[in-house]
Amino acid sequence: MADVLNSTAMIAIEDAPAGRKPRRAVSRRNVVVYGLLLLAAFYYILPLYVMIVTSLKGMPEIRLGNIFSPPVEITFEPWVKAWAQACTGLNCDGLSRGFWNSVLITVPSVLVSIVVASVNGYALANWRFKGSDAFFTILIVGAFIPYQVMLYPMVIILRTIGIYGTLTGLIVVHTVFGMPILTLLFRNYFTSLPEELFKAARVDGAGFWGIYFHIMLPMAIPIMVVAMILQVTGIWNDFLFGVVFTKPDYYPMTVQLNNIVNSVQGVKEYNVNMAATILTGAVPLAVYFLSGRYFVRGIAAGAVKG
Amino acid sequence: MNSSVNIKNLSLDFGAVNVLKSLDLDIRDGEFLVLLGSSGCGKSTLLNCIAGLLEPTEGQIFIKGRNVTWEEPKDRGIGMVFQSYALYPQMTVEKNLSFGLRIAKMPQAEIDKRVARAAEILQIQPLLKRKPSELSGGQRQRVAIGRALVRDVDVFLFDEPLSNLDAKLRAELRVELKRLHQSLKNTMIYVTHDQIEALTLADRIAIMKNGLIQQLDNPDTIYNTPKNLFVAGFIGSPSMNFLRGKLVANEGALAVETHGVRFGLGGYRAGREMNPGQEVVLGVRPEHIRVNEDVRAGDEVHEAVVDIEEPMGADNLLWLKHAGHTLSVRVNGARRFKPGTKVKLAFDMGLASLFDAASEERI
């Protein structure tokens, strides 16, 4: 009897759970989670699918009305037209002009605003001067004032300086309006670096620019990338400033896209419109895809601390 | 002896808070001075003032007889070692060591010579090509010390340099620091909240509280004759036993009466006048209480009950209940006591401390 008891006890111990707990691949939880994820993904991918499919069809096929069906005859004609031939007003050179305008606007705006904002943020984080807190508060308040409020004053300022309606004017506007959020981004980043690093550099004899270039800048690469992403996507997608502060010759891609899509004369060429829209969105899309990881980090960093 | 760092009437305010209150401090040439205190006492602030990283509101700082109050950190002849090591993460150890020299535009040959010498002293030659992230905590701190070493400074400043290390490494580096000081003979000012570091390293300790220096003396003096109640309670682990009572006349001498028990003050060397009726605090360190067979003939014997026993290897710490007090007593680790047993005890009054209860100053 005792033996029997003992052996069953032994078996019980050996059979008892050990090691990793088994999990079923198909559980109710998994079905719900993955089901919802797939549904959401499908919902978001659908418009893109329709756009791509439509842009590859000819007009007769589009008129049939089956917007979800894949193209019977694939044609790249709409893409060529969107890029090089679509008309806005008197110009019939397509989106290409807008693309190059956008490049000319975005590149200097991004570079200038990041250079200035990183120095701002560094000064605010490490060199507390008299009134630096007040300065910072004003800057932050600036981030929360709606752009529309400042449109008209800005127009007057640019006109007075004599750069209203030029690319330079728009670049200045983008740089100025990007300043609050970028400075905040850099200030928070530099504040999060150990203060002792800064002190050590001072003891070692480095000054304002020495510390900036030798110590801070090499450590700021991640936040530089984040700032770059924020600025490139933000400025490329901008429509309002583009319309307000430039003339048709200098319209950025977004404005030109609107003018192509919303032109009233003639038939609506859906395939061309779709191609034009994808072309315009290609740059931010590429940025997102290439740097999604940093972009998420940027949003987290922007979730204001201190 | 020449003075190396001289601080006169130094005050520093952060807004309405006085962090340092007209502080005077004279640090001798070649001395290892430890600034000891709990957090917020102003010890790091004082160090940062000496380094030139904080501007004092008032007062002057002299280093080697030169008024450096308004000088930049780099011009003061100081090197500083930080708690977080503060190594430049993107630079190799070699570049970290030479950064200050390169900023100062020193010839490359001289830089190489100095880096090699520092690396040899600190035994970090194999690490020169590594990045700080590839080093252990102890190695990082050595590099941080090396950064001060290469600059050939008069005064080393240490801001809690061992606090981020684990206990074993801390003990090792403590010894290395002491050895380094013995061979370099530079003035070193060392901030810590760890009394063991203070007692083991210091030539003199300055104990700080609320922006003021409470006592500045060598470790023995601080330990054995603390100037006031704060210093007495701060130094020593476990803390000194404090018995609050009143001075009474007792058979022609004075005694401290507390909870109806009298402790005769025979053997206590008072530095000030004592009056019967005075409210006092009697302080006795755990190792200055004799238990059972240690009690000597002629001792004033009291009885107590063992409450708790804490064996710590070499020592055995007893917590005794005695007439409303709890006394901690340190005995040899080989001697064991069961909780609840009665023991005889006697105070070594020659090593005790007596404080005025109102002023908290030593009597």
- In the sheet where B302-311 sits, what is the strand order? B289-291, B342-347, B302-311, B315-322, B325-332
Strand B155-159 relative to strand B187-192, pairing: parallel
Give the domain CATH number at B305.
Answer: 2.40.50.140
| CATH code, domain with A186 | 1.10.3720.10
Q: Residues 129-188, chain A: which have Cβ within 8 Å of B?
A: none
Strand order in the sheet with B32-36: B78-81, B155-159, B187-192, B32-36, B204-209, B212-217
Residue B157 lies in a domain: yes
Q: Is residue A85 part of a domain?
A: no
Q: Do residues A56 and A74 lie in contact, with contact meaning Cβ atoms separated by under 8 Å?
A: yes
On the question of pLDDT at A300 being above 80, the answer is no
Name the residue in chain A with its Cα closest to that of B74.
A205
Answer yes or no: do B51 and A206 touch at CB < 8 A.
no
Q: Please judge whether B73 and A196 are an interchain contact, meaning their C-beta atoms are less than 8 angstroms apart.
A: no
Q: Is B103 close to A210, i.e. CB distance below 8 A?
A: yes
Domain total in chain A: 1
Q: Supply the pLDDT for residue A66.
A: 85
Average pLDDT on A278-294 reads 85
Instruction: Judge whether A51 lies within some domain.
Output: no
Residue B219 at interface with chain A, using a CB cutoff of 8 Å:
no
pLDDT by residue for chain B (363 residues), tens only, comes to 466 899 999 999 988 888 998 899 999 999 999 999 998 899 999 999 999 999 999 999 999 989 999 999 989 999 999 998 899 998 999 999 999 999 999 999 999 999 999 999 988 999 999 999 999 888 999 999 999 999 888 899 999 999 888 888 899 899 999 999 999 899 999 999 999 999 999 999 999 999 999 999 999 999 999 999 999 999 998 899 999 999 988 777 888 988 888 888 888 888 888 888 889 999 999 999 999 888 887 888 888 999 999 999 899 999 999 888 899 999 998 888 989 999 999 999 889 999 999 999 998
Tell me, yes or no, whether B248 and B218 share the same domain: no
Domain range for A279:
96-302
Find the domain containing B307 and state its range: 241-356
Residue-wise pLDDT for A199-245, tens only, equals: 999 999 999 999 999 999 988 888 898 899 889 989 999 999 998 89
Query: CATH code at B38?
Result: 3.40.50.300
* A206 contacts chain B (CB < 8 A): yes
Q: Which of B204, B227, B250 is the last residue of a domain?
A: B227
Q: Which of residues 60-79 of B touch A (CB under 8 A)?
A: 72-74, 78-79
Beta strand B315-322 with B325-332 is antiparallel
Quote the number of domains for chain B.
2
ipTM: 0.84
* Domain contains A28: no
| Residues B289 and B319 occupy one common structural domain | yes
Residue that has been written with the tokens 């030109």 in this structure: A256
Partners of residue B150 in chain A, C-beta under 8 Å: none
Q: Tell me if A175 is assigned to some domain.
A: yes
pLDDT of residue A305: 36
d(CA B173, CA B163): 11
pLDDT value, residue A304: 41
pLDDT confidence tier of residue A60, bands split at 50, 70 and 90 = confident
Contact A98, A84 (CB under 8 A): no
Decide if A73 is inside a domain.
Answer: no
Residues A107-164: tens digit of each pLDDT: 999 999 999 999 999 999 998 888 888 988 888 888 788 888 888 999 999 999 999 9
**B55 — contact with chain A (CB < 8 Å)?**
no
The verdict on a CB contact (< 8 Å) between B80 and A203 is yes
Q: What is the pLDDT of residue A7?
A: 53
Tell me what pLDDT residue B257 has.
86
In a domain, B16, yes or no: yes
Do residues B197 and B41 lie in contact, with contact meaning Cβ atoms separated by under 8 Å?
A: no
A 10 A CB-CB count for B274 gives 16
pLDDT given at position B147:
92
Amino acid at residue number A28? R
Per-residue pLDDT at A239: 92
